Amino acid sequence: MMICRKFLRKNSFISYLIFAVCDLFESDYMFYAASIAYYTLMSIIPLFIFLFFLGMVIFHTNFQEFIPKEFLNSPLKPIINQINQVINSSGIISGTAALVMLWFSRGIFLSIERSFCEILRVDNPAGFIYRHLVIVLVILLLWALMFMFYVAHYLLAFLLPQFPALSFLSSLVAPLLLFIILLSIYYFLLPISLPISFMVRISLIVFFLLALFERFFVWFIVNVSKVSILYSSFAAVIIFLLWIYYSATVILLGVGIVKGKVIAEGEVNENSKESKGDAGDRN
């Protein structure tokens, strides 16, 4: 980290971003991204089964209607389709089974929260119960956001014939949903408190980088890689893991920005204390 500290000579957001890119490699963020990818693979199916359960029990509707088409056109599509087939063939699960699915779906968020703590080199002050309550809250918030997307989708379908000028809103709903999810991850799972304005700036940068990455990733898989040839029937799982791995790396880059801010402000405070101490000695 000594090399990357050189980029923090100026206390600015750009300096934090450059530090984060450097620290991405120096502190091995990819190791934590691999952990997130693994736990996502293990927890994504229980998570979506639980979300499907909420949609079917509360609103008696197929949860797949809640999911933005951007998700269905991503590497998540095979996973979601498989879950939908399981639900359609076996029917709605019991409340007890839903609670079990909720318990196993925590892995995604626990791995993210732990990775945030390791990168920032701080311990989460929250206890076991509080941490898990926050994670359950995040899962319920995810469901609520997808329900809001569902409502907005049908509201626009009702309004567009009467107000064609609102057509541009239909293309903004899904990106806005993804941005709010990203902001919520930083807000609830970071172990330190930050101004919401700073979190919004981080989320905007990471959201933009994720959008660029998704386009490059799709182009690479379709035109360059030989994943489907090398892995045959396992290709969908491998592509999913790669997508989560690199997406998690970009999300952790946002934590690197936070780390740069914490280090820079800590050094400023130390220099300020030293200056006051020197002034006191002279007096």
Q: Is 36 in contact with 240 (CB distance < 8 Å)?
A: no
Confidence (pTM): 0.84
Structure-token pair, residue 61: 């509707």
Is 116 exposed, middle or buried (CB count within 10 Å of its CB: 0-12, 13-18, 19+)?
Answer: buried
Contact of 205 with 254, CB cutoff 8 Å: yes
Q: Is residue 218 domain-resident? A: yes
> What is the CB neighbour count within 10 angstroms for residue 123?
8
Domain containing residue 97: 2-273
Instruction: Give a yes or no: residue 283 inside a domain.
Output: no
Report the pLDDT value the prediction gives residue 275, as an integer from 0 to 100.
47
In a domain, 282, yes or no: no
**Measured distance CA(157)–CA(251) in Å, rounded:** 33
Q: Are 20 and 274 in contact (CB under 8 A)?
A: no
pLDDT of the chain, 283 residues: tens digit per residue = 568 888 887 788 999 999 999 999 999 999 999 999 999 988 888 888 888 888 777 766 665 666 666 666 666 677 777 777 766 666 667 778 888 888 889 899 999 999 999 999 988 777 778 888 888 898 888 888 877 877 777 787 777 778 777 777 777 877 888 899 999 999 999 998 899 999 999 999 999 999 898 888 877 777 766 666 556 667 777 888 888 999 999 999 999 999 999 998 875 454 444 444 554 555 5
Tell me, yes or no, whether 47 lies in a domain: yes
Query: What dihedral do alpha carbons 157, 176, 178, 71 form, nearest 10°?
Result: 30
280 is a domain residue: no
| Number of domains the chain is built from | 1
Three-state SS string over 29-72 comes to HHHHHHHHHHHHHHHHHHHHHHHHHHHHHHCCCCHHHHCCHHHH
Instruction: Please identify which residue in the block is written with the tokens 């990203």.
Output: 182
| Residue 81, pLDDT score | 73
Asked whether the beta carbons of 220 and 80 are under 8 A apart, the reply is: no
pLDDT of residue 215: 83
Tell me how crowded residue 5 is: count the other CB atoms within 10 A of its CB.
Answer: 16
Residue 278 forms part of a structural domain? no
**Residue 94 pLDDT:** 76
Structure tokens at 137: 């809250």
Q: Is residue 70 part of a domain?
A: yes
Closest by Cα among 116, 135, 118, 115 to 127:
135
Alpha-carbon gap, residue 282 to 93, rounded angstroms? 74
Whether 38 maps to a domain, the answer reads yes
For residue 143, the model assigns a pLDDT of: 84
In angstroms, the CA 258 to CA 189 distance is 13
